[in-house]
Structure 1
Amino acid sequence: MEMEAADEETPLLLLQPYRQDVGSEYTSDGSVDINGHPALKRNTGNWRACYMILGVDFCDSVAFFAVARNLVTYLTTVLHEIKVTAAQNVSAWVGACFLTPLIGAFLADTYLGRYWTMVASLPIYTIGLLVLTVSASVPTSYYVAGVHRTMVYIGLYLAALGSGGIKPCTAAFGADQFDSGDPMELQKKGSFFNWYYFLINLGSLLSSTLLVWLQQNGGWGISFAIPTVLMILGLTVFVGGSKVYRFRTLRASPFTSICQVVVAAVRNCNLQLPDDASVLYELASSSSSAESSQKIQHTDQFRCLDKAAIVLPPLDKTCTMFPMCSWSTQVEELKTLLRMFPVWASFVIFYAVSGQSASTFIEQGTVMDNRVGPFAIPPASLSIVGVLSVLIWVYIYETILVPLARRYTGKAKGFSQMQRLGIGFALSMLTMVYSAMLEMKRLAIAQASGLADQNVPVSMSILWQTPSHVLHGAAEVFAGIGVTEFFYDQAPYAMKSLCAAFAQLAVASGAYFNTLVFGIVAVATTQGGSPGWIPDNLSTSIIKVSLLLLISI
């Protein structure tokens, strides 16, 4: 199992001479097996372990999208929530699903390790899905006022809590199965990440087609039961493969490092900074690990934080009250996080636009003609266009756009990180501009057809929403994948997992921003008996839904 942080030095020191005796029989990166013994290459890790980890990733993807893709429809048609409340609740739940990974990352990095965090989270996830399945399967004649709604939300938020221990751990734990000191295994690690993202999209595709179709035809119970069964199987297989996993020793938590710097800087706020930054305290490390060699050069930005690394006199009483536990590298790591904050904040708006595809886009689709030949397309299923758009745009980006841009910019990646993010933001803005124009056109048709007072679909094909999903898919390739690369490249060596969690926190913040906007709009536009900008009958909203869509720009 993964070892305690306090013991991290001992096993590494003990393993070094042992490896010299056995040659390449054991991994060279300090990983151990479930019993804490040096990991044998032939019996642990590699793809034999990743298959089971990827299975959990697939189950999580199916479960999340099975609920998220059409939750707004369930809340409005089964729980009979008004549209603005349903949109708020969808955004709040999606936000919770991407906020809880911070809890999971903290537990994994500080106390439990990635494996035990996943083992503890999977049953919670499964129980949440089971509660949701049972509540959706009970006949309406047995509903008790308030009880059904309460059970639905208990199931939703238990699932959100469970997913918080899965999302930040699956990719990292899968990468742990490859020996970082073996060039052959390092190549396989790159393939693992390809399959990781492939299975996320495959789970989304399955949920957006088969499961959404079941939901649209009244099969809410069975549509929730399928991911529940998958999650039970995933838990069984994952735990059953414990003997073949490789485990990494726990190290000092980045959360602890950040708190140390902040507290030390506050306590030393009255001290004078030295003119020479080289005299700031730096911990002398005897470790030969990779992260120990990653010393960040001193910067003059956020100089107030440098006070955390002031060397205090040996007899200073402050030194005994607060031992010197912060040092220059930790300070610079926190400065790096602060410099990345503006980029993070900009993605709150980007993910607010993404959240619209799971709420207002679907509500818009319900009042459009969803017949395509002999088929009726559920509004939530049109999101598969976005999934396919991502897959297609990834290929176009890698094979066409990057080589073409490389000729003009001379950059190895074709685009700089800021250029890539900027293009993604522009495409995201165009997505909302098009959606707003589409809504204005739909409302004009409703007025001309005399359907403004009736909450029925207008004679406008739902396929007109396709460009919105295509544009947003392109925006995801440029900005969504780009921000993951940005946080990984710019993050300090010891804080890459934490920065990955921050990227997911941007998704949560975007969802909560949507909830805030919907709440403000609902209060501000329903005064004096007005139906508001998002009434239950969207055709009476004239142009106001279009304006709400444009707010996200």
Structure 2
Amino acid sequence: MASSVPGYAETAMSADSNTKHRGGGWITFPFMIVTLLGLTIASWGWLLNLIVYLIEEFNVKSIAAAQISNIVSGCICMVPAIAAVSADSFFGTIPVISVSAFISLMGLTLLTLTASLDSLRPQPCETASSLCQSPSKIQLGVLYTAITLASIGTGGTRFTLATAGANQYEKTKDQGSFFNWFFFTSYLAGAISSTAIVYTEDNISWTFGFALCVAANLFSFLVFISGKRFYKHDKPSGSPFTSLLRVIIAAIVKRKAVVSTNKKDYHSESTVIPTERLRFFNRAALKQGDEVKPEGIHNPWRLCSVEQVEDFKAVIRIIPLALAIIFLSTPIAMQLSLIVLQGLVMDRRLGPHFKIPAGSVQVITLLSTCLFIIVNDRFLYPFYQKLTGKFLTPLQRVGTGHVFNILSMAVTAIVEAKRLKIVENGHLLESSSVADMSVLWLFPPLVIVGIGEAFHFPGNVALCYQEFPESMRSTATSITSVVIGICFYTSTGLIDLIQRTTAWLPDDINHGRVDNVYWVLVIGGVLNLGYFLVCSWVYKYRNLKDDDHEQEVSVSLSSS
């Protein structure tokens, strides 16, 4: 895999000689990617099948198991923000990843023990009986400790590893290429876990399946540690959020001051002058009276530097785009849930002896994303650059993802309408409520949504990483994970709202109108795309550069 990365073969030897001086470069790529692959296989391997494990091995009721899984999934998406703040403010990315990987290893080891030791599980339910022994407090304590450690470790490595990898490169183009490979590897690992690991847990044994996760985690941990001498280690400079708060307070304190156009009136650590956008906050860097002493000492809560003010503006300006990302990801989360329900009432037979598990249908999205990340990185993006003389900007990639997402929802609605028509005409498989319609009809919309994710997920991470202040880069890449966590809950809430206000989502979807749900998502997607286009039109890039020409690029999605 590493040999196919642009510039890897040519730069690896030169990078090796330079690591003695500054570290980083493409020589770090194999260590980062192998670490990501193993850790993702390990984390998805237990998380994807957690509901089944709780029901079968701990006698947890199905609804309670789903609620536990929801909480765990949401927390895993939120933990990266805490890890990012820790990396940016105190420890740096490399130590945070090392500690998180070790914590994950401890959690998975403990989880494996719950599967292998009978004393750590309740007795199985009696055959043909509804009476089941509940787990003891000690058993639940060990289980929840294992899940907590595994969740913290998973969340602590997920997007911090993206930042650490991108920090190894100087050029924006190389950073963007790494983000593409980061997502490709993540989706590939997800596909491996959702097939091989889950199959092992279901058909061989939970102990062996979890042991495979432990082995993958341990291998990744050792690989990451062995590459430490090659890495470029980022140096944290204290909490960046303190600096942001100082800008707000200083601007409010001096809110009555007249904003000057003379750069000499501002406190600057270099030749940077304040921009005209969000001019109110320029007051935070405005020098008044004797705020700056002859020896250079000043109150940081009353006078900030121009650089701090511009960093604050960069964070504020990206918030509207982040809202668009939330409204983009929520329909995807809903689709992946509803697709499983659709798959359950469609013909999943492939030949006389094999039946596709409904939960495995989502693998199509993962594989599609993997494939098109490669296509984009190796063919589409270079072709676009050769054709136009410019590289595809992060906002253009995200916007393209919006379009594919809307198209996927529309195709899924059409497929569901066709399925409901077949049910209405009575074309069902014998003695069942399953429509005489192959589940393969769901593959095209899943492929389309995978293509969209190949555009917008790497684009979102690259945008935040490049545009956020350098001191907040770990925080920037964790935003995507936080957004996914938010969407996980918003999609659940939206489904609940639709169930309460319409008859479209009954327990038996053969008597509902899931196609109408998708058309609502299409309308919402179109409105969100319009909102995103407006935001991207007014947005001006702060750090984006064409490394081939070393020229500033300020094109937005609307200029494509």
- Which band: TM-score by shorter chain? 0.7 to 0.9
Q: Which moved more, 1:161-170 or 1:492-501?
A: 492-501
2:149 alignment counterpart: 158
Contact 1:280 1:327 in 2 (8 A): no
1:233 alignment counterpart: 219
Distance 1:495 1:236, change over 3 A: closer
Contact 1:446 1:539 in 2 (8 A): no
1:169 alignment counterpart: 160
Which of the pair has the greater relative contact order for Cα pairs under 8 Å at 6+ separation?
1
1:212 alignment counterpart: 198
Q: Distance in 2 between matches of 1:26 and 1:412?
A: 31
Q: Which moved more, 1:231-240 or 1:381-390?
A: 231-240
Counterpart selection for 1:199 from 181, 185, 189: 185
- 1:501 paired with 2:478, answer yes
- 1:117 paired with 2:102, answer no
2:313 alignment counterpart: 335
- TM-fit CA distance, 1:131: 4.7
What CA deviation, in whole Å up to 9, does each residue of 1:92-113 have, x standing for no partner? 5433222211111111111112
Q: Distance in 2 between matches of 1:242 and 1:447?
A: 62
Distance 1:228 1:398, change over 3 A: closer
- TM-fit CA distance, 1:229: 2.8
- TM-fit CA distance, 1:81: 2.5
How do 1:531-542 residues align onto structure 2 when only pairs under 5 Å count? 534-535=505-506, 537-539=507-509, 541-542=511-512
> SS at the partner of 1:140?
coil
- TM-fit CA distance, 1:345: 0.8
Q: Distance in 2 between matches of 1:393 and 1:489?
A: 23
Contact 1:131 1:151 in 2 (8 A): yes
The count of residues paired between Structure 1 and Structure 2 equals 491
Contact 1:92 1:515 in 2 (8 A): no
What CA deviation, in whole Å up to 9, does each residue of 1:241-265 have, x standing for no partner? 5556553333344323212212322
- 1:81 paired with 2:62, answer yes
How do 1:390-401 residues align onto structure 2 when only pairs under 5 Å count? 390-397=369-376, 401=380
The percentage of aligned residue pairs carrying the same residue is: 26
Distance 1:123 1:450, change over 3 A: same
Per the normalisation by structure 2, the TM-score is: 0.73
Distance 1:331 1:483, change over 3 A: same
How do 1:523-538 residues align onto structure 2 when only pairs under 5 Å count? 534-535=505-506, 537-538=507-508
- TM-fit CA distance, 1:325: 5.0
- TM-fit CA distance, 1:347: 0.8
Opposite residue 301 of structure 1, the aligned amino acid is R
2:490 alignment counterpart: 513
- 1:481 paired with 2:465, answer no
Distance 1:540 1:392, change over 3 A: closer
- 1:351 paired with 2:335, answer no
1:528 alignment counterpart: none
- 1:436 paired with 2:413, answer yes
2:105 alignment counterpart: 126
Q: Distance in 1 between matches of 2:385 and 2:165?
A: 32
1:363 alignment counterpart: 341
Contact 2:45 2:193 in 1 (8 A): yes
Distance 1:87 1:365, change over 3 A: farther
1:311 alignment counterpart: 287
Contact 1:97 1:161 in 2 (8 A): yes
Distance 1:428 1:246, change over 3 A: closer
Taking only aligned residues, the RMSD between alpha carbons, in angstroms, comes to: 4.1
2:390 alignment counterpart: 412
- 1:378 paired with 2:357, answer yes
Task: Point out where structure 2 has 5 or more consecutive residues left out of the alignment.
Answer: 1-13, 126-131, 526-560
Opposite residue 331 of structure 2, the aligned amino acid is V
Q: Distance in 2 between matches of 1:177 and 1:403?
A: 22
- 1:302 paired with 2:278, answer yes
Opposite residue 209 of structure 2, the aligned amino acid is S
Opposite residue 187 of structure 2, the aligned amino acid is N
Q: Distance in 2 between matches of 1:236 and 1:514?
A: 38
Per the normalisation by structure 1, the TM-score is: 0.74
Contact 2:35 2:221 in 1 (8 A): yes
What CA deviation, in whole Å up to 9, does each residue of 1:270-300 have, x standing for no partner? x323332524532335xxxxxxx8x4x5333
Opposite residue 285 of structure 2, the aligned amino acid is A
Opposite residue 387 of structure 1, the aligned amino acid is L
> SS at the partner of 2:463?
helix
Q: Distance in 2 between matches of 1:425 and 1:152?
A: 40
Q: Distance in 2 between matches of 1:123 and 1:395?
A: 31
> SS at the partner of 2:157?
coil
Task: Point out where structure 1 has 5 or more consecutive residues left out of the alignment.
Answer: 1-23, 29-38, 286-292, 526-531
Distance 1:25 1:507, change over 3 A: closer
Q: Distance in 1 between matches of 2:286 and 2:354?
A: 70
Q: Distance in 2 between matches of 1:344 and 1:456?
A: 42
Distance 1:429 1:151, change over 3 A: farther
1:58 alignment counterpart: 37
- 1:274 paired with 2:251, answer no
- TM-fit CA distance, 1:419: 4.0
How do 1:18-57 residues align onto structure 2 when only pairs under 5 Å count? 40=20, 51-57=30-36
- TM-fit CA distance, 1:52: 4.1
Distance 1:523 1:248, change over 3 A: same
> SS at the partner of 1:361?
helix
- 1:547 paired with 2:537, answer no
> SS at the partner of 2:234?
coil
How do 1:135-150 residues align onto structure 2 when only pairs under 5 Å count? 135=114, 138=121, 140-141=124-125, 143-144=133-134
Q: Which moved more, 1:462-471 or 1:539-548?
A: 539-548
